[in-house]
Amino acid sequence: MPHSLSPDSSNAAVKDEQPDGEPAIPTPVAPADTAAAMSDDDVDIDMNEAEAPPAGQAEEAKKEVKLDELFADDDSDDEFPSSAPVKREGVSSPVRAASPSNIPASDPEVMRSFYQRLFPWRQLFQWLNHSPMPTNDFGNREFAFTLQNDAYLRYQSFATADLLRKDVLRLMPSRFEIGPVYSTNPRDRKTLRNSSAFKPLSKELCFDIDLTDYDDIRTCCDKATICNKCWQFMTMAIKVVDVALRDDFGFNHIMWVYSGRRGAHAWVCDKKARSMDDQKRRAIANYLEVIKGGSQSGKKVNVKRPLHPHLSRSLDILKTHFQEDVLAEQDPWATDEQAQKLLQLLPDRTLNESLRRKWEAAPGRSSISKWADIDAVAKTGASKHLDAKALLEAKQDIVLEYTYPRLDIEVSKKLNHLLKSPFVVHPGTGRVCVPIDTKALEDFDPLGVPTVQSLLAEIDSWKGGEDGEEDDKSKATIADWEKTSLKPYVEQFRSFVSALIKDEGIAKVKREREEDSMDF
């Protein structure tokens, strides 16, 4: 899976700032073209690839920010109220003209309705800001917009969530990415006398896993197509990576997000993770990398013995998945060609020949049976020089090759990578990039994730409480996302953010006390 997007290698057009400070906004293309252009859902952006100058709204941001007005109630979502009570003269609802389910997800009016009515702006702000009140963690954070015609705007920044929301509604990007916190406001970078003073300071440690990297071992689907069978590879990957990050590195605040089509992203949000330099990020990425080599390479797992505790733990997690989700569901060695690949991973030629003859004599033998045949034939003494230890290690390597996470580690190595924001809509599938509950991984259904069209239809059909009776005052206080199947995902995100902010506050108080004690 590609891990960067460059204007030189795609149709993206990076736009420069105009003399009046406003970016040049190209005419949007038709929705169908947009969907095609954005079919690669999991492309994240390397900040070294391209640059789009600022949108020139720094002064506007300064004028509009009134902290006492914007954050009078830290725990309220009234800053971005439900659209239900809003009345606009002469303006009709964009989703009333036709059934939302019949409108493409990439349609600008569908996206406008989503960003106006459903996107959790306040929670996104608090997540990236690490506080209910504005700080540089949000104000100096880079955002990048991919516009409807694939033009790309870099180095956007905003003092508040409302300013970000307004710019998204003005530009109507098909998606937006999140980058690092910089040493100064990204919009002001060209005003610095010393350009080296503009540098990234912190960003979440991120991981990207894409099912296209499993195409050589999944038999049910390939490329952008997925099903619940091959999604189990993602379930395995999340289990292995999540426990390693928590147990081996001590991270606590890890959020997994569905990419909208065929992948998942991990955001490690602990302060110590955000502040790591590239060297430390590379070390963690290399620690977790086991599968090496492309789809045409031979043996992809070559690990030292005795196995590292992380790998031993991973094998314990993956053994059941290997039997049930790989051998039974994927049947990866059903054909003669596939079986030959298995034989190439075994260490003894004589054993291999015995197995080949057995399988040729019984065509149609399942992968479960072929896997069992390895030990059965080995015990017959077919090979006098068989090394039992080498065979065991080879079988362990095969289990890892067919189950261990296949990470795009380049995403994790650099502080200055950008990654697609949670809760944006995939323009090809219409699915929202929702958080994944790691406590209920087996229950997550990527094909059942809410689509933007279904969510807008749910708002239109909502009638109140269980009995359908709600007074006007009650309806006015209910946010639109609470009326839809997006609700549990937003609530999960809000709980995650609350726990993160709480720990940040405790750590801050502890640091202040330590600093005070040093004064004496």
Query: From the first residue on, what is the mean pLDDT of each consecutive set of 10 residues in the chain (520 residues)?
Result: 39 42 40 40 46 44 40 38 39 45 81 97 97 94 94 96 98 96 96 93 98 97 97 99 99 99 98 98 98 80 97 98 98 97 96 97 96 96 91 98 97 97 96 98 98 96 68 73 98 98 83 61
d(CA 267, CA 412): 10
- Taking the model in full, what pTM does it have? 0.81
3-state helix, strand, coil split of the chain in percent (to 5) is 45, 10, 45
d(CA 19, CA 117): 34
CA neighbor of 339 nearest in space, from 310, 371, 313: 371
For residue 88, the model assigns a pLDDT of 37
Phi, psi (rounded to 5 degrees) for 68:
-70, -25
d(CA 23, CA 34): 20
**430 Ramachandran zone, left/alpha/beta (phi>0; psi -120 to 50):** left
Per-residue b or e along 183-216, where b marks 16 or more CB atoms closer than 10 Å to that residue's CB: bbbbbebeeeeeeeebebebbbbbbbbbbbbbeb
Contact 261, 226 (CB under 8 A): yes
Contact 398, 200 (CB under 8 A): no
Catalytic residues: 142, 208, 210
CA neighbor of 175 nearest in space, from 204, 142, 152: 152
d(CA 445, CA 292): 28
Q: Which letter does DSSP use for residue 467 in this model? A: T
For residue 505, the model assigns a pLDDT of 86
| CATH among 3.90.1150.10, 3.90.920.10, 3.90.120.10, 3.40.50.970 for 13-285+407-464+471-507 | 3.90.920.10
Contact 189, 154 (CB under 8 A): no
Contact 66, 79 (CB under 8 A): no
For residue 341, the model assigns a pLDDT of 95
Contact 270, 252 (CB under 8 A): yes
Q: What would the two tokens of residue 173 be?
A: 């990007």
d(CA 317, CA 313): 6
For residue 515, the model assigns a pLDDT of 63
For residue 358, what are the CA distances in angstroms to 302, 345, 497? 28, 17, 57
Report CA 486 to chain centroid distance, whole Å: 17
Contact 14, 151 (CB under 8 A): yes
Question: Which residues does 285 contact at the CB level (< 8 Å), separation at least 6?
Answer: 407, 409, 412, 413
**Burial of 408 (C-beta count, 10 Å sphere; 0-12/13-18/19+):** buried
* Cis peptide upstream of residue 435 (ω within 30 degrees of 0): no
Contact 420, 259 (CB under 8 A): yes
Domain ranges of the chain: 13-285+407-464+471-507, 291-403
